[in-house]
Structure 1
Amino acid sequence: GSACGKNLSKETIGSIGEQKTTNYALRADMTKEEFIKEVTDGLLPPPAYFPMNVRLNKEGYENVENIIADAQALDANAFEVAAQETEALILDVRHQDDFSNGHIPGSIFIGIDGQFAPWVGALILDYKQPILLVTPEGRENETITRLARVGYDQTLGYLQGGFEAWKNAGKEYDTLNAVTAAQLETLLPEGIQVFDVRKPGEYAAEHIENVPSTPLDFINEHWAEFPKHDSFYIHCAGGYRSVIAASILKARGYHNVIDIKGGFAAVRQTGIKTTAYVCPSTLK
């Protein structure tokens, strides 16, 4: 589902009859109190950008075409200078594997092919933050447009030629360390630290035994839990969110973070012991 609700289905069309049969919140014998409890239980707070978007919709916003026209195509040298002089956030929207294999130091990953806008809104709290983009070639305008649609219209420019242009210019770049789920299985007996950055509901349904829940949505509330010097491992469901989290951690100086490739989906294919959260009130 999206940030607008919970338990949303993937279907884009349907009938009222189907909903009455399948929708968890439309039971025929449900009381008003039960309905309220069903639709609000486990519902996360709205992303930080929701109130800002409401205000923009009321007051008006910049024409997207003007924002695209103002964004500059920058070669590697100009991009580096702009990053230093403006203190802009470098936002890398390529695939997570591409980011892991090489990225500009200090850049943040939020992939354009994932739930891009919701994660931008949840994690970049200042919508006036100047932004410099690293995108797949040919997707610069798309990225600028999708940022502007949720109120982020301070895109200064993008790296012309993409990340390859940065490498070809001989600029410094960083990589993200990673292990497979199979490798993780051999490491767990050594007492390594693992963190689960999925949503609380996903964690409650099933998680690696003795691994804490540190949701990406609330990563700013968990800094004290991540070790500053010892290596630690993070995972999400499939690999997208864990790389977002890892990029944020590395930008904050946590270079000892290691991603678990394939996330929990890959973990479940191993012999790693998992468990589900049981609410104390349900215990007899």
Structure 2
Amino acid sequence: MATLKKEGVYFVEQMYTNCLAEAAYYIQSGDEAAVIDPLREPEPYIQMAQKHGAKIKYVFETHFHADFVSGHLDLAKKTGATIVYGPTAQPNFEAYIAKDGEEFKVGKITIKVLHTPGHTMESTTYMLIDDEGKEIAIFTGDTLFIGDVGRPDLAVKTNLTKEDLAGHLYDSLRNKIMPLPDEVIVFPGHGAGSACGKHLAKETYDTLGNQKKTNYALQPMSKEEFIKVVTDGLLPPPQYFPKNAVLNKMGYESYDAVVERAFTPMTVEDVEKAIAQGAVVLDVRTPDDFRKGHIPAAFNIGLDGGMFAVWVGTIIEDLKTPIVLVTPENRERETITRLARVGYDNVLGFLNDGMQAWAQAGKEIVTVESVTAEELASLYEEGKTMVLDVRRPGEYEAEHIKGALNYPVDYLQQHLGELDKSKKYYVHCAGGYRSMIACSILKRNGFEQVVDVMGGYNAIKQTAVPKESVLATA
């Protein structure tokens, strides 16, 4: 958590959530506070204000987020804060639509609105100005990241093309952001791992001056060159993105109601009945635990080791899907919260006592066959061993096993018809997290001969396989 402060005047807390690579911000001056781009659950911000003896006055939204459900509605309702959007925003709920250049007082500081369309047309940057009128920091949302800029193809219900939006982004960066002093701190909405950009850096803040030197999108170039470089190589966004953007624009059920309903222990019989009625079992235990035994047709998306919420949003295509959870002990509420952050509000409950209860009831348990990288090396024969590489195209193109099929797990469900259920597939990703997601998808869809390669490509590179059969193309 990064902190910026001027003693006796203000402090800023960057509240970073690795699961979504998302940064919310708590800003306080005196006994007044503001929050920028909060996550779904309001309590962390309320508790922060209580801890420091402040009242939350404003909830500033940089845009209608696509990758998570913001907490603006619940936070405003619980604190009396005013929700603020930038120019052109048209939310379906009460909010203040600010003018470009408008200023808001929070204690001794000023928050200034800089309309920066491009990622979306309502996208807005908020500038922190201290008590002496000095420009201190900008909260850029998805307009400017560290090392990147926001992709211009995520706006909801617009007649503008991604090229049109990229043109607006070029103007916003050149006219509103780049003229600011080099020492201004850039606080973006996301870091590395977010699908809201292409090449975000692992750092979560920087000086604007350094970004002018190092960020490819801020280098001297024509608008036409900028449009080409920003729109080139964009992968399709996770399917839940436009659905979350609609929720953020139109409104949603309160977080408290979602959690109260979902935190329901279920018996084995309850789970069986739910499955019969169309519910999906989401097993969020580790890949190793899932491998050893799980409920038939369950998805495995582990809470740990990857971007859980993003993968759920990628794999489970309908936000309204009824979901039954299998979780590690005492992590049910955490799982429900992390699902709610991306709009999966229809959790029916969780299997009480987990797989132990399922086993004790004598119900069918499915396992996933696995091999080590060394075992794969001894088995491998080019053209005969069916290796399924579920990494993303860029990873595959850089280096892969000769003859391996590349079906990124992100899009695997759309291409199952291209695979042969009579074949045996050895499935790997980079480290083992995504490969088990893929194995669960394959098993769920009738592929019985599925073998997980433990440790993924990182382990494969250490074996004999690379010496004879890995193709390096980068």
Query: Please, what TM-score do these two structures have when normalized by structure 2?
Result: 0.56
Offset at 1:38?
2.7
Match of 1:40 among 226, 231, 251: 231
Letter in 1 for 2:453: I
Structure 2 counterpart of 1:264, from 441, 457, 460:
457
222, 247, 264: which is aligned to 2:415? Answer: 222
Shift of 1:168: 2.7
**Distance in 2 between residues matched to 1:204 and 1:274, nearest whole Å:** 11
- The count of aligned residue pairs is 276
Report the CA distance between 1:171 and its aligned residue: 2.0
Does residue 91 of structure 1 match 2:91? no
Deviation digits for residues 46-94 of structure 1 (CA, Å, limit 9, x no counterpart) = 111111111111221111211221122112232223322x210000011
Matched, 1:189 2:371: no
Aligned mates of 2:210, 2:436 — CA distance in 1:
38
Pick from 372, 375, 380: which aligns with 1:180? 372
Opposite residue 439 of structure 2, the aligned amino acid is A
For the 8 Å contact 1:107–1:247, the answer to whether it is kept is yes
SS in 2 for 1:25: helix
The answer to whether the 8 Å contact 1:42/1:201 transfers is no
| CA displacement 1:213-261 (0-9 Å, x = unmatched) | 1111111232133221121111111111111011011001101111111
1:1-284 aligned within 5 A: 1-27=193-219, 29-71=220-262, 72-84=264-276, 86-113=277-304, 114-189=306-381, 191-272=384-465, 273-277=469-473
Give the partner amino acid of 2:421.
Answer: K
Paired AA for residue 268 in structure 2: A
Task: Name the aligned partner's letter for residue 296 of structure 2.
Answer: P
Q: Does the CA contact (< 8 Å) of 1:237 and 1:262 recur in 2? A: yes
The alignment partner of 1:112 has SS state of coil
SS of the aligned residue for 1:132 comes to: strand
Partner-residue secondary structure (3-state), 1:5: coil
Rounded Cα–Cα distance in structure 2 between residues aligned with 1:145 and 1:6: 27
Q: Which runs of 5+ in 2 are unaligned?
A: 1-192
Change (3 A) 1:4 1:220: same
Counterpart CA distance in 1 for 2:267 and 2:399 is 46
Instruction: State the distance in 2 between where 1:259 and 1:277 align.
Output: 25
Q: Which residue of 1 aligns with 2:38?
A: none
Determine helix, strand or coil for the equivalent of 1:129. Answer: coil
State the SS of the aligned residue for 2:209.
Answer: helix
Q: Secondary structure at the match of 1:19?
A: helix
Distance 2:353 2:322 in 1: 21
**Residue deviations 1:8-49 (CA, integer Å, cap 9, x gap):** 11112222233233333333x433333333332222111111
Identity score, percent: 54
In structure 2, distance between residues paired with 1:266 and 1:35: 39
Q: Distance in 1 between matches of 2:418 and 2:371?
A: 21
Q: Please give the secondary structure, in 1, of the residue aligned with 2:406.
A: coil
Q: In the alignment, which residue of structure 1 is the partner of 2:138?
A: none
3-state DSSP of counterpart to 2:349: strand
TM-score normalised by length of structure 1: 0.91
Larger proportion of helix: 1
Verify the 8 A CA contact 2:423 2:449 in the aligned structure 1. Answer: yes
Match of 2:47 in 1: none
| Greater strand content | 2
Return the index of the structure with the highest Cα Rg: 2
Asked if structure 1 preserves the Cα contact closer than 8 Å seen for 2:413 and 2:441, the reply is no
Instruction: Report the 3-state secondary structure (helix = DSSP H, G, I; strand = E; otherwise coil) of the residue aligned with 1:275.
Output: strand
Counterpart AA for 2:259:
I
Q: In 1, Cα distance between the equivalents of 2:227 and 2:379?
A: 45
Q: Letter of the aligned partner of 2:329 in structure 1?
A: E
What displacement does 1:277 show? 4.2
